[in-house]
Amino acid sequence: MRNQRGITLIALAVTIIVLIILAGVTITLAIQSNGLFRKAEEAQKYQENAAAYDDQLTENVEYFVDDYVNDVTANQQASGD
């Protein structure tokens, strides 16, 4: 009986062909016009816009809180508390 060890040349060739096909599909999906890189750039823009919006909201809230605290303090001082 023959000693069977290792892989055959056909199995190695099939494995390499499958890896080449997978690499081609992956590169195509990443580079095409609506691919992974484009979506990453769009996500970065959305995140930057959201951060700017959040900063503006925070500034507005701080302004209104300071204004409210100043009004309350002024009313307390005017009433003599």
Segments of 1-81 assigned E as strands: none
Interval 44-59 mean pLDDT: 95
Residues 29 and 35: their CA atoms lie apart, in Å, by: 5
Distances (CA, A) of 22 to 16, 17, 30, 60, 76: 10, 9, 12, 51, 73
Residues 19 and 71: their CA atoms lie apart, in Å, by: 70
Interval 39-68 mean pLDDT: 93
CA–chain centroid gap for 57, Å, is 22
The pLDDT tens digits for 13-49 are: 999 999 999 999 988 888 887 888 888 899 999 999 9
Domain ranges of the chain: 9-79
| Model pLDDT, residue 56 | 95
